[in-house]
Chains A and B, each alone.
Chain A
């Protein structure tokens, strides 16, 4: 019995929140807790999982990236334009990822080598990257019709969520990087104690740069999946993604400014945001009201999570 209790205790409180919401929504609508709706949820949450992982990396390292949504948008646009220009699919995917990496690398150079504040740098590049996407598309979505590419984001036979599977693979790769590579180690070292990391002979500038570049790379991969799922590269698609990515990170138990956190927790935060969003449609909240409600719920959940994280810290 004790063992059962201890297992329950280890489940993050945010996950209980998710379950509670699912139960509430399934009482309100009989369509909510069906296989069909479940795979749709997985498809919808997939890209956010990857972007939120990117945000988690940056936040563990003591930084912040407000440009992830714009990187997602711009990468999506380059992927779609490449495909429409007849570029083979693997190369198009590579172009999307490379666009993300390049954007992240620019952030990294400005932050790590010029010593500017991440907040102001990425707020600025948010505008720049988004602006490029607008110019390249003339503010009109770029439709993609390459069947093999669209397969990567589709719901095969209405039951196999390919977008989710792709993103899960990327997510597992991110966990590997965090737990099993030098980048992952140094991430914590730099976030927890920058001066200590430098005195340990870690080239803090380079690794900090790499964190941003890697985050951009992940956002670029997310863009590939997102475009495949939506079958269009919309220059407005990335709005607010950075906020949700950061929110998911914090809901997942990662703290700002102290080098503590885990990409593995971020999936719980993504689940909560996805469930809330879907639930609002189920209970027929008018779409104009949804942003306000989502924002308020996120803040409420974060207040809880931050309180819990602070308590854990004191132990």
Chain B
């Protein structure tokens, strides 16, 4: 019994300010198995992984590795326990050679000081050869293809006495052939008794590579099953789980004229592919998809923060030039409430008042100098209208709660008198009460005839608020759904495997 499990996590809890990222989490791993970890964005997969890697210390619960209780959490301890981790963003040093990267933390030494380059390259070659990889160990890590970089990461992990390997979405950037190759390597590792924790968004991979699967949701442990005993549909149901609450009191109405129209938008740099969409007055259109599906990139292209190469964007029926700046786009009535409130939406060290007028200075103060009476009047109106709770308009934005900060961002953009508003994750990280207020405001805005495009990773929010929904996957819009036909299951299956289904239909 003692060592049936390589790894056992019991009742692990990890709290970040305002969020329980892991709540009573249970997880275990047997030697030689591939244990898949799935869940929606924010379900707690990354946090769980970071606890294992020693990056976060949990507040509660116990962690055993080979029956030994872990008491100290640090990346170095984790390495001692034989835990290797391959992050989604690789940690290779681009200007060092492949071999140097593999042995980055313990290069073979000659006479105690010099790096034994010959030996290092020999061993690197052997490691990569065992993995049937044909990579020049002298090449710079930054110059080799992504798939090979990943193998280098695996080889790097193998230079230690590896017992547990964690892979975070390893196939996200790989082609089908490269994925097959990777799975081959994963199997050769498990044959040696190494346990692999495999985090993935791709449901179709699970039966191919996984032995067991654990589902997480909202930081909680939901269920663990043998892969052969569970269908994809059941997995999706487990992942989604929750009921849609009565948080959204949308009063839906017949939409008006088209105010935003996008035709064949492509962006090489952001990978956006042939985007077509439209938005009408009086409607909220949801933009659903997984992290990395291209939703924020699309919003930034519409707002002209990032460039796009081809395609047309029409605002109020008029085609606008590719070369506009955000400044000019705002003047034409489009607003973007960015996803990252603290970095992009606000200036935390400025007052509420200064933040609210920031995007509308030209409109409010057309003479270049600031007339404080007018400014105060404008600011106070918004503070009152959207109920920003603060002792004074001079309060620094950084001192507000998340919900109030988001209201300041909203005030800032309402102040530009925009008719089209793009919300990128409008309720991320704010409490339920403030969420309800934001939803009510959005409802008010479309009733006044404004149009809203809402990016959200929270499916209940997308379904509860939207009139129509575009689902993005792999930087394309793969499906348009009416609110009546949208369920969490439908959205998630398009968001995960949309493109594949489309391909099947095409073929």
A→B interface (CB under 8 Å): 179-182, 184-186, 188-189, 192-193, 195-203, 258-260
Contact = CB atoms under 8 A, between A and B. Distances in A.
B370 A260 contact: no
A201 B354 CA distance: 14
Contacts of B490: none
A199 B365 contact: no
Contacts of A185: 354, 358, 361, 370
Interface in B399-443: 412, 416
A199 B348 contact: no
Given A182-B365, A185-B354, A202-B358, A196 B370 contact: no
B326 A197 contact: no
Contacts of A197: 347, 358
27 contacts: A181-B368, A182-B362, A182-B365, A182-B369, A185-B354, A185-B361, A186-B361, A188-B347, A188-B354, A189-B347, A192-B349, A193-B343, A193-B347, A195-B343, A196-B338, A196-B345, A196-B347, A199-B303, A199-B336, A199-B344, A199-B345, A201-B327, A202-B327, A202-B358, A203-B327, A258-B349, A259-B349
Given A199-B303, A199-B336, 17 more contacts: A179-B370, A180-B372, A182-B361, A185-B361, A186-B361, A188-B349, A188-B350, A192-B348, A192-B350, A193-B343, A193-B347, A195-B343, A199-B305, A201-B327, A201-B330, A203-B325, A260-B349
Interface of B: 303, 305, 325-327, 329-331, 336, 338, 343-350, 354, 358-359, 361-362, 365, 368-370, 372, 412, 416
Nearest to B303: A199
B346 A196 contact: yes
- Nearest first, the 5 closest Cβ-Cβ pairs linking A and B are A201-B330, A200-B359, A201-B327, A192-B347, A200-B358
A199 B306 CA distance: 11
Nearest to B330: A201
A181 B327 contact: no
Nearest to B334: A201
Contacts of A260: 349
B219 to A, nearest CB: 29
A311 to B, nearest CB: 15
Contacts of B370: 179-182, 184-185
A308 B361 CA distance: 33
A196 B343 contact: yes
A275 B331 CA distance: 51
Contacts of A202: 327, 358-359
B358 A189 contact: yes
A275 B344 CA distance: 43
Contact of A195 (B344, B354, B369, B412): B344
Contacts of B362: 182
Contacts of B331: 201
Contacts of B346: 193, 196
B421 to A, nearest CB: 14
A179 B331 CA distance: 25
A201 to B, nearest CB: 4
Contacts of A179: 370
A202 B358 CA distance: 8
Contacts of A181: 368-370
B359 A201 contact: yes
A180 B349 contact: no
A198 B347 contact: no
B368 A200 contact: no
